Copies of this chain bind each other. A is one copy, B any other.
């Protein structure tokens, strides 16, 4: 089957409007429906991008789940939602995979607002077992009877929340069914002792005595071929309505049914739009970018200094660290698996031990480490470096927003949070962060690759010293990090309208340049702050507090405190008055 969708081809899917319809299929029909589900998944992924391999791998398991169980009475929680497409297709959301309108409407993540068959909005890993425990406990307290199922990938079980969940689920004393989808891959290779045991269990057809799930107290079932509908139906029928905590360990093939995805599982975990026949991306992903810039810089650095060590929590590919690059970095790269907490604590201790750790992480996943940032790192004031990617107001899914890191991390004492405005400044800050020995340093990786418009400092040891890029009067624009370009535009526009504004690159998110701010009072009436994140708890509010008892006016620009879900960036900028004309209008209203 070539999975290229042509009109009228989906014989089975056309008749599956809810899980009820799955129950009417014969095994043979289910197999044919499985093919059509793959076609639908690949149709969406090839057109708008999305998770490929994880979804292709659980097609049979999902059919079996809906054949055996009765959702929404029975409740299935899909960990991180990377494996929820077949479920969406079988629960009335087929159009999300077939038509343009459907794709725009249906998200790539579970969402209770879309369907009664979903229970949570989920996009961070390792949460499904704890959520399932809550549903199960609620059921027991209310005296209800139904099955609660968590489907979790092997890559996700390394996260602390999942492990807390396993230990607690094991003693729940009632029905909870955890399906561990073992496709022998996380996003990249699996990392950690947990996988030693999964391998042993696979190799012994689930028979090995040394079994971590049994050790915790679970009933344990191994399914050698999780891509067999009949094997999956068998095991699910066996455990249905169990009164005990159960683990089903199913072995599946990630990417099953699409040869490129089977052959290169890491690349095809998630992909941008692509041509189905060739597997080639249909959008241009190349050009200079911060993944390459950072990798090249760190690789050069490591060649000269073996104390430098790069860390990732299960997502090397998200930072451009391809298998070849990982090989090149060798033992100076540590992938801890999906375990961000461990990564931050380990970074702190690596620094304590005399190394120079650099942990690469997305803004949205840095959130998983607040306590490690505070306790393991900041209190101990160890000089580890954390690079925060995708820290910005964005049109992402609600679970992947990158606009909260400033409020989360910059208010922790001792952390020096830097916001470079361009490539040169970024590299200078990175070099300084790695070599200095006095502070934990977080650097917010810029968005656009552009060159410096002002001389770039090499030494950031004099903390909280802002840079005046253009000296004007009346209005001072403090344009932080990736919003420096916006600041330039605002200042240029003000100039056109006869207002000679000052432009400042604050550089430091985590502290105020008191002297500079005081000096501004002499010939400025208004300070404008621009930050690429949520205002609440952010940078601008500190400026507002600083001037609280002064005559200086302050206008803070950034995002509203709200969760947004796939809202186009232009719409958000408009909503937050982050466009140049809006800002210029506001400035004029205040000072004229």
Contacts and interface: CB of A to CB of B under 8 A. Distances in A.
Interface stretch (A165-173, A280-288, A572-580): A165-173
Contacts of A334: 137
A435 interface: no
Nearest to A173: B331
Interface string A189-226: 00111101100100000000111101111100000000
A472 interface: no
Given A141-B332, A378-B563, A549-B553, 20 more contacts: A119-B352, A121-B379, A122-B375, A132-B349, A133-B346, A134-B345, A134-B351, A138-B355, A139-B353, A160-B162, A161-B372, A164-B341, A168-B346, A170-B193, A171-B196, A209-B210, A215-B215, A379-B563, A407-B537, A411-B536
Contact of A341 (B134, B161, B197, B357): B161
A408 B138 CA distance: 28
A39 to B, nearest CB: 31
Contacts of A545: 535, 540-541, 544-545, 554, 556
Contacts of A554: 544-545, 548-549
Given A124-B375, A342-B133, A375-B124, A191 B168 contact: yes
A338 to B, nearest CB: 9
A104 interface: no
- Of A120, A215, A337, A561, most buried by chain B (CB within 10 Å of CB) is A215
Contacts of A127: 345, 372, 375-376
Contacts of A112: 380
Interface stretch (A61-69, A363-371, A452-460, A514-522): A363-371
Contact of A544 (B137, B412, B544): B544
Interface of A: 112, 119-124, 127, 130-135, 137-142, 158-171, 191-194, 196-197, 200, 209-212, 214-218, 245, 306-307, 309, 331-332, 334, 336-337, 339, 341-342, 345-355, 357, 367-368, 370-372, 374-376, 378-380, 398-399, 404, 407-408, 410-414, 526, 534-538, 540-542, 544-545, 547-550, 553-556, 561-563, 590
Contact of A192 (B167, B218, B309, B332): B167
A349 B169 CA distance: 13
A196 B209 contact: no
Given A130-B341, A130-B342, A168-B336, A350 B161 contact: no
A371 B371 contact: no
B353 A134 contact: yes
Closest A-B pairs by Cβ, 6 of them? A160-B160, A134-B349, A138-B353, A170-B193, A193-B216, A163-B163
B158 A380 contact: no
A160 B158 contact: no
Given A134-B348, A210-B214, A544-B541, A353 B142 contact: yes
Given A130-B342, A549-B553, A167 B193 contact: yes
- Of A133, A411, A563, most buried by chain B (CB within 10 Å of CB) is A411
Contacts of A547: 544, 548
A411 B563 CA distance: 11
A216 B196 contact: yes
Nearest to A527: B548
Contact of A345 (B130, B167, B214, B350): B130
B563 A339 contact: no
A285 to B, nearest CB: 28
Contacts of A372: 127, 130, 161
Contacts of A339: 164, 167-168
A309 B137 contact: yes
Contacts of A404: 374, 411-412
B160 A411 contact: no
Nearest to A123: B375
B211 A192 contact: no
B548 A542 contact: no
Contacts of A367: 370-371, 374-375
A366 B137 CA distance: 22
A29 B162 CA distance: 47
Contact of A137 (B120, B130, B341, B350): B350
A169 to B, nearest CB: 7
A157 to B, nearest CB: 9
A450 to B, nearest CB: 29
29 contacts: A120-B380, A133-B342, A134-B346, A135-B353, A142-B354, A159-B164, A160-B160, A161-B342, A163-B164, A164-B339, A164-B341, A166-B193, A167-B192, A169-B193, A192-B216, A194-B216, A209-B210, A368-B370, A370-B370, A379-B398, A379-B399, A404-B411, A411-B561, A413-B561, A413-B562, A414-B563, A536-B542, A537-B537, A548-B556
